[in-house]
Amino acid sequence: MTEFQTTATDIGCRLDRFLSKKIPDLSRSLLQKLIRKGYVRINGKRIKKAHAHLKEEEQIVVTIPDQSPEKKLEIQKARLDIIYEDKDMLALNKPAGLVMYPGAGHQRGTLVNFLLDYLDPEAIKNTDPERPGIVHRLDKNTSGVLLIGKTKLAYNNLIKMFADREIEKTYLALVLGRLTPEAGRIESGIIRNPHDREKMCVTVNGKGKKAITEYKVREHLALLNQECSLLEVKLLTGRMHQIRVHFSSINHPIVGDPEYGNNRFNEIFKKEYKLSRQILHSWQIAFNHPCTKKRLVLKAELPDELKKLGCF
């Protein structure tokens, strides 16, 4: 248990930012998780909002739980498709079908299980123990470039770079219909679907998290007698299911998307191509190295199941 007292200079400061300065050994994402889970109290009251603003002379108590042996994640060996690696970070080409984190029904065979074997446990100490080295995510059935921090410094810097929109992410996506105009921007907030908590949806009432998606059409083509558009998509924000939700909201869903797509066409598509995934690939990430500041442009080769479509 760790205690702090706020002063006049802390008035208005966010709780998570205050704690990241006071407990530098813990990453900000881990501190945010501790706050959400109720391990932080202000003046004896449990606070679960990382963005809570502080007042003067508040007592803040942080309890850092130990990870009990029975809750420790299993370490598993697996071959990782590595695009780039140095002492600070690596970039993987994540295959579709790979779950990122252990959860209900997925305690083994996740990316986390594999990273626990691959990464140096001392180097990633004090990053999020449930998501070691992971600084962003890809949906289970989305493939492509994924960045991993191998050290605490690289991990924290990458998280900040994503938050500050300093990392350019470009996807390749196949959507239903002839998308016009051939270049544009979708800008609408995203919230959790009130009717299905496993899904997200757009909002037009100003609520939800700001989300911006830019696109340009690479090619219009016909697939199984259905007009489709092959797109390059840039994410200016990183919301859960953002690309899938945004294009579904303008009636051009991602081909093969089981949650936001066209179920009738998806059944035909699945039967013809034997594919059970959305046609969405994290193709390129461009950024300055989190430690050396060297400019990197990393691309993920298309997986074989997308190459056989013949439209990429």
Q: How many CB atoms sit inside 10 A of residue 27's CB?
A: 21
- Nearest CA-CA partner of 299 in 92, 99, 133: 92
Instruction: Please give the angle made by the CA atoms of 175, 146 and 283, to the nearest 5 degrees.
Output: 40
Residue 115 contacts residue 132 (beta carbons within 8 Å): yes
- Nearest CA-CA partner of 134 in 101, 87, 106: 101
Question: Which listed residue (16, 139, 196, 257) is catalytic?
Answer: 139
Residue 209 contacts residue 190 (beta carbons within 8 Å): yes
Residue 27 contacts residue 35 (beta carbons within 8 Å): no
- Nearest CA-CA partner of 115 in 65, 64, 76: 76
Rounded to an integer, what distance in angstroms lies between the CA atom of residue 213 and that of residue 242? 8
User: Is residue 66 among the annotated active site residues?
Assistant: no
164 contacts: CB under 8 Å, gap ≥ 6: none
In DSSP notation, 85-141 reads E-SSEEEEEEPTT--SS-BTTBSSSSHHHHHHHHS-TTTTTTS-TTSTTB-S---TT
Residue 64 contacts residue 78 (beta carbons within 8 Å): no
Annotated catalytic sites, by residue? 139
